Structure 1
Amino acid sequence: MKVLILTHGTRGDVQPYAGLALALRRAGHEAVLGAPAAMAGLAEPHGITYAPVDDGTNKLMDDPGIREAIDTNYRGLRGKKVALEVMRRSKSLMAQVFDDMAAVAEAGADLVVHTPSIPGHHFAERLGVPAVPAVLQPVWVPTGAFRNPMVPVALPKAVNRASYLAVKLLLRSFHGLGDTLRDRLELPRRRGRHDFLRRPDGSPATVLQGFSAHVLPAALDYPAWVHTTGFWYLPAPPGWAPSPELAAFLEAGQAPVYIGFGSMAGNDPERIGRIVIEAVRLAAVRAVVASGWGGLRVRDLPDEVFQLDQAPHDWLFPRMAAIVHHGGSGTTGAALAAGRPQVVCPFVADQPFWAARVHAAGVAPPPQPQRRLTAEGLAAAIRAAVSDAAMARAAARLGHAVRGEDGNSRAVKILESLS
């Protein structure tokens, strides 16, 4: 079976799909991962076949205005204006991405697995094969159990299901690009052509949800064609080993706290860095600070802090006393699997949802939103995460359950059933 996997975005948007591609490869299938050229380093050490496409909207990540809007979760008039500008600029950037992916799809496949931001269902229709939407956040398939995590305001439970129309409206702005793509693919402009949750004949598409139901609220009412498999993990590259400096730091004292915010940064990562260093001092802990992806910048480090470019989470996180992160789906999944308490400092999008869910699960203190982050507040949260015995036990129990799901293998079995 040949599976074409299409995704786009930063590391957190690509790495889980690389894990899925590797799982398919290990199961004896051919998997091709089409994703931004800048992310090819995720695939190469594992021998994953990688089809690089244009970096598209990733080129906007260093725009100061966009970083400022991220700082405030696109709140206020300024944030809304930036959000509209991002959408406008994204269209031309993603047009090139779609063209590149169309060229990749010409090589054929038996299945097309795609993130909803990529119109993989058009490529699948052209090839005459099933399209499988594969999602990393519970924002695409309506449920009455909770409101859409992308809706930042409280809503009556009665309108939870209706709140999922928000993402459909967001994707509607890209329908013009989709129609241009369909013209290139010589596909008709049929009714329902933009609904990736439906096959061309109107029947529901099989959907993979690459996260854990253990973290979601109770009373889930997903339909049978939606499979919540568990998180998809990409293991450490073969032969990977820590630097002598990192190994020595870990051996030199009590287990440190990991602090890293991925590639998600606001307008002043140096300010975040200063807050982090002061919080480490106030909490009286040792820390491994990951600054390699731009989420924070640190200077003048004390002996208790080790600055890390990056390291595989499946190796690093189990060695930590607690994990401080931004609440991205992939990092949340890795922290859960490690069975360690967390402190979540969300920026934007689905991150506040994951922050709230791990707190509700008893494995993290209350969230520390980045826009209100202080050294004193972060230090208090870190102290709670490293000293609360009940939280540590809850994290260990939940970690055991999350690891037991084996999301990669479950996803592969579902894909095999479609071929």
Structure 2
Amino acid sequence: MKVLILTHGTRGDVQPYAALALALRTAGHEPVLAAPAAMASLAEPYGLAFAPVHDGPNTLIDDPEILEAIETNYRGLRGKKVALRVMRRSKPLMARVFDDMADVAEDGADLVVHAPGIPAQHFAERLGVPAVPATMQPVWVPTAAFRNPMIPVPLPRSLNRASYLPIKLMLRSFGGVADRLRAGRLGLPRRRGRHDILRRPDGRPATVLQAFSTSLLPGGLDYPSWVHTTGFWFLPAASGWSPPRELAAFLADGPPPVYVGFGSMAGTDPVRVGRVVTEAVRLAGVRAVLATGWGGMRTGDLPEAVFPLEQAPHDWLFPRMAAIVHHGGSGTTGAALAAGRPQVLCPFVADQPFWAARAHAAGVAPAPQPQRRLTPHGLAEAIRRAVTDRGLARAAAQTGERVRAENGVQRAVQILETLA
């Protein structure tokens, strides 16, 4: 079975799809991962077939307006105006991405798996094969159990389902680009419901994969049978990978350190974030590994108790940590859960506050430390609790066992094998 996997975004967005590609190949299938050219390093160590596409909105990541949006989570009137400007600037860039993906789709496939923000259902319709949306966040399929995580304000429970409508409207913003593709190179007619990723061309529901664990979601879930919440998708360390000698020596030279890393997230002042983190580590009296390689913070000279790290596979690194401080992205949250270690979540934007709240509710993390209110003393206190609280450690270990047992990516492969 040839499976075309289409995704976009930064490393945390793309990595789970690389995990799916690897699992599909291990099961004897032929996956092709189409993702931003800058993400090729995720496929190369595993020998995965990789089709580079334009980096699209990733090219805006250092733009001051984007950085402000990340830091404020689009709050207030100004935040909404910034969101609209970002969307307008992203449209022509995403048009180039979609065009590149159309080129890749011309080579054919038996199945198309795609990130929900990619209108890959049109490519699948042209090929006459199923399209399977695969989401890393619970924001695409409505449920009455909780409001859309992308909505940053409380709502009455009665409005939970309605809160998922803005996501549909956001996808419609790229409808003109998709319609030009359909009418042009894809040669497809206009039809009702063509932009709904949750419906097949004949109107029946599409199979949906949700690559996260129900163990972190509220009770009372009412997802329909065609929605499969598989568990998180983890990309293992590449065969033959070994830690840098300096990192191995640091880990062996004292008690387990605390990991601190914010992925590709960076607000308007990553230098300030770096200062807050290093001071918090000092106040907490812990050793630390600071992952600075993806832009979340910038640091100057560091004390001996702090090791600067560009990156390392989470499945190798996290189990060796005393606690894990991160931004609350879905992939990092899942990896920290699987490691069975307490967490401290410092969310920036989008679904990150949701995961932070859910980790706290599950008893694996202290109260969230939002980036916009991050202080050395507040972060230090959260780190101290994560390292010393036996209740957090016990809950983290138990949750880790459940998350590892799910083997989400293997379950996803089994579901896909029933479709083609």
Provide TM-score, normalisation by structure 1: 0.99
Alignment match, 2:279? 278
| Pairwise CA distance, 1:163 | 0.6
Pairing 1:8-407 to 2, within 5 Å after superposition: 8-183=8-183, 184-407=185-408
For 1:43 and 1:65, how far apart are their aligned partners in 2? 31
SS at match of 1:32: strand
| Pairwise CA distance, 1:81 | 1.9
Unaligned stretches of 5+ residues in structure 2: none
For 2:80 and 2:287, how far apart are their aligned partners in 1? 39
For 1:10 and 1:127, how far apart are their aligned partners in 2? 28
SS at match of 1:68: helix
Q: Give the letter aligned to residue 26 of structure 2.
A: R
For 1:378 and 1:111, how far apart are their aligned partners in 2? 46
SS at match of 1:362: coil
Aligned length: 419
SS at match of 2:195: coil
Q: Give the letter aligned to residue 352 of structure 1.
A: P
SS at match of 1:31: strand
SS at match of 1:282: helix
Q: Give the letter aligned to residue 313 of structure 1.
A: H
**Residues 221-247 of structure 1: per-residue CA shift (max 9 Å, x gap):** 000000000000111111111111000
| Pairwise CA distance, 1:79 | 1.9
| Pairwise CA distance, 1:76 | 2.4
For 1:199 and 1:71, how far apart are their aligned partners in 2? 37
Contact 1:339 1:395 in 2 (8 A): yes
| Pairwise CA distance, 1:77 | 2.9
**Residues 261-310 of structure 1: per-residue CA shift (max 9 Å, x gap):** 00011011010000000000000000000000001111110011000010
| Pairwise CA distance, 1:70 | 1.2
For 1:337 and 1:299, how far apart are their aligned partners in 2? 32
For 2:142 and 2:66, how far apart are their aligned partners in 1? 29
For 2:158 and 2:74, how far apart are their aligned partners in 1? 26
Contact 1:282 1:379 in 2 (8 A): yes
In terms of mean alpha carbon deviation, does 69-78 or 246-255 score higher? 69-78
SS at match of 2:17: helix
For 2:180 and 2:337, how far apart are their aligned partners in 1? 41
For 1:406 and 1:75, how far apart are their aligned partners in 2? 36
For 1:172 and 1:69, how far apart are their aligned partners in 2? 21
Provide TM-score, normalisation by structure 2: 0.99
| Pairwise CA distance, 1:28 | 0.3
For 1:129 and 1:65, how far apart are their aligned partners in 2? 40
For 1:312 and 1:270, how far apart are their aligned partners in 2? 25
| Pairwise CA distance, 1:166 | 1.2
**Residues 18-54 of structure 1: per-residue CA shift (max 9 Å, x gap):** 0000000000000000000000000000011000000
**Residues 154-188 of structure 1: per-residue CA shift (max 9 Å, x gap):** 01111111111010111111110110111120001
For 1:72 and 1:131, how far apart are their aligned partners in 2? 35
For 2:57 and 2:93, how far apart are their aligned partners in 1? 6
Q: Percent identity?
A: 76
For 1:304 and 1:82, how far apart are their aligned partners in 2? 40
Alignment match, 2:409? 408
SS at match of 2:411: helix
For 1:309 and 1:279, how far apart are their aligned partners in 2? 20
Contact 1:69 1:78 in 2 (8 A): no
For 2:75 and 2:195, how far apart are their aligned partners in 1? 29
SS at match of 2:34: strand
For 1:53 and 1:84, how far apart are their aligned partners in 2? 24
SS at match of 1:67: helix
For 1:403 and 1:196, how far apart are their aligned partners in 2? 29
SS at match of 1:289: strand
Structure 1 residue ranges, 4+ long, deviating more than 4 angstroms after superposition: none
SS at match of 2:165: helix
Unaligned stretches of 5+ residues in structure 1: none
Q: Give the letter aligned to residue 353 of structure 1.
A: F
SS at match of 2:215: helix
| Pairwise CA distance, 1:344 | 0.1
| Pairwise CA distance, 1:78 | 2.6
| Pairwise CA distance, 1:348 | 0.2
For 2:295 and 2:216, how far apart are their aligned partners in 1? 28
For 2:388 and 2:403, how far apart are their aligned partners in 1? 23
Q: Give the letter aligned to residue 305 of structure 1.
A: V
For 1:350 and 1:82, how far apart are their aligned partners in 2? 18
